[in-house]
Amino acid sequence: MPHWTELAAEKKQRQLKSIPQEWLVSPPPDSTLDVTGFPETCGLLTAREIEITNTSVDVLLKKLACGEWTAIDVTTAFYKRAIVAHQLVNCLTEIFVDRALARAAELDDHFKQTGKVVGPLHGLPVSLKDQICIKGLETTMGYISWIGRYAEKNAVLVDVLIECGAVPFVRTNLPQTVMWPESFNNIFGRTTNPYNRSLTPGGSSGGEGALVALKGSPLGVGSDIGGSIRIPSAFCGLYSLRPSYGRVPYCGALNSLEGQDSVHSVFGPMTNSVGGVKAFMKAVVNAKPWLKDPLAVRKKWQEDEYNLADHGSGKDLCFAIMWDDGVVVPHPPIRRSLEITKAALEKAGHKGFSRVTPPLNHTHLAIVVDWKPIKHRLLADTTRNIWNAASAEDYMITTSVTGEPIIATMELDSSNVAAAPFRPKKIGITAYQLWQVQKLRGDIRKEYLDHWEATVSETGTGRPVDAIICPASSYAATPHGKNRYTNYTTVWNALDYPAATFPVTTVDPTLDVKKPRHVFYDDFDKGIYDMYDPETFKNAPICLQLVGRTLEEEAIVKMTEIVDGALAAAK
C-alpha cells in the first residue's frame, strides 16, 4: 500500500482537478485577514450572481417557486461563490459541479412542464459536512484510511433533501475524527475564519461555518455531538440549530464512536437567517424521516408549538440569562453581547418582574431573569467520559489501515506533532463502568429538569423560564489550536436540549477592553482569562445560544426569531 502521505496527496490532486479552471481567482495575500468582501470584488461573479448569493433562504425559495430564478441560475451562482470561498479559507472537500447542475436542470424541467415545485426546498443548493454520504462519492471524514471508499447509497438525510427539491452541491471540511472544535485533517488541511484568517472557524463543522459565512452556500448541514454546529456558527456569525436526538435523520451517514448511543450526534442547519433554520427543519420533519430512519422521532412540524402554545402564546415570555457557567467566565465581548441582548429584550418588553402594557405595535413582552447553572462541569465531564469509553480504540482501528498518525493537536505546527502518533493514556473502560457514567448522567438530567421546573416561582408568568440565553463559547473565534473549552455547548448535548445560535455583534477593541480580574474559579479559568487580547480577536463575530427543552425545536425557532427581532429593533 502507498504511504499515507502519498494517498493524501493523490486525493488532494483529484480535488484540485474537480475545480473548473475558469473559476480560479487570484486570492489576496495571507496577510489580508478579513476576506469577507473578496467574493464580490474578485470579478468572477456577475451582478445577478452577487444578488442571488446575498438573498436569504426564504426569499430564494419564493423566487425559485414562482420561476423568477431557475435552479440552474441559483446553483451556478452559489457554486462559483463556494469555489471562491474555498480558495480563501480552504472549506471544501468534495466538489461535483456537473452532477449538481444536472440535478438543477431536472428541477427546472419539472417546473417548466408542471408549473409546480418538487418540494418545499425546490432548487435550493445545500452544502453538507463530509460525513453525509452521497451515492458514488467518497466520504473520508478527514481519515486517509477512508480515501477510495465510495458510497453505495445516499444517507437518509440526502434522500430527504432530494425529495424536498434541494440540490446537494458541495461537501465541507472537518477535523480528523470529527471530535475537535476546530477543522484540520491530514488530507485537506486547515480551514480558516473568513473574518480573520489567523483565527479558527471552529469545528467540527468548520468548513460549513466558513463557507456559509462567505455566502458560498445559502444553507449548510453540520453535525453536533458537543457543539460542532454551534461553535462554528458562533465563530462565523451564523444562525443555526442543534436539534434534539432523532429530530433530523442520521441513518446512513458516517461518524466516529458509532454504536455509542447515549449522547447522540445530531444533524442541523447553519445559515445566514433564522428563516433558513425554519425552512430546513419544517421541510425535513414534514418529509416523515421516521419511515426511512428507525431512530428518527415520529413528529411532524407542529405549527401550534411554533406559535408558542406552550409558552403563553408568546405573551410575557421569560428569558433567563446565564452570564457564566460556574466553570469559566466568558471574555468581555461575550459579556457585552449578553448585555446587548438583555437590553434589547427589556426595551421590547420590560425588566425584572414588572409588567407594563407593551406599546401597541409590540405583542411580545419579555421578562428577563438570571439563570443559575447547576453541575455544568460534572455534566460536561460525564459526557466526555462516555465518549472516551472507547474513542481511543475507535481512532486507532480506523487509522491502522494506512498507518496515518492520529492528530494530537490543532496547533498551527500540528504537521510536526502529527508525526508523533497520539497515544491515549488508557484504552477504554468496562461496560459496567460505562453504565455507571450513563446512570450518573441520567440522574443529573432529572435534577436539571426539576431545577428548570422550579423557576416557575421566579418568573411571575405562571410558567417556568421559557428559554435560556447563554454564551455559545467563553470567547470569540480563537487563534488556531487555542479552542480548548466547549462546555458552553456540550452541556446541552448531555441534557438533549435543543439550542439555536444567533449573531449579536463583533469584537471591538475599543469597547471590549480587558478588565483586571482578581478572583478565578480555578487555574483553567485564569488561563482562559489570560488568553484574551482584544487585538487578537478583532473583528470576530459574536453569537449567543437560545436553549429550550427536549424536542421543542418549533418553539426554539420562534423564540430565536423574537430575540433576533428585538436585537434588530434595538439597533
Active site residues: 129, 204, 228
Q: Which three cell numbers stand for residue 16?
A: 484540485
Rounded CA-CA distance 53/45 in Å is 10
Q: Are the C-beta atoms of residues 287 and 161 closer than 8 Å to each other?
A: no
Rounded CA-CA distance 399/202 in Å is 23
CA-to-CA dists, residue 78 to 13, 39, 208, angstroms: 23, 11, 14
Strands 219-224 and 125-129: parallel
Report the run of H or E that residue 221 belongs to, with start and end.
strand 219-224
| Per-residue burial over 430-447, b = 16 or more CB atoms within 10 Å of its CB, e = otherwise | eeeebeebbebbeebbee
CA-to-CA dists, residue 317 to 288, 313, 364, 371, 457, angstroms: 31, 9, 7, 15, 15
Single-letter residue type at 211: L
Rounded CA-CA distance 64/123 in Å is 6
Q: Where are the alpha helices (DSSP H) in 349-425?
A: 376-387, 391-400, 414-418
Rounded CA-CA distance 552/102 in Å is 37
Cis peptide bond prior to 204, omega within 30° of 0: yes
Rounded CA-CA distance 315/220 in Å is 33
Q: Which three cell numbers stand for residue 391?
A: 474513542
Q: Three-state DSSP class for 94?
A: strand
Burial of 550 (0-12, 13-18, 19+ CB in 10 A): middle
Q: Three-state DSSP class for 431?
A: helix
Strands 266-271 and 239-242: antiparallel
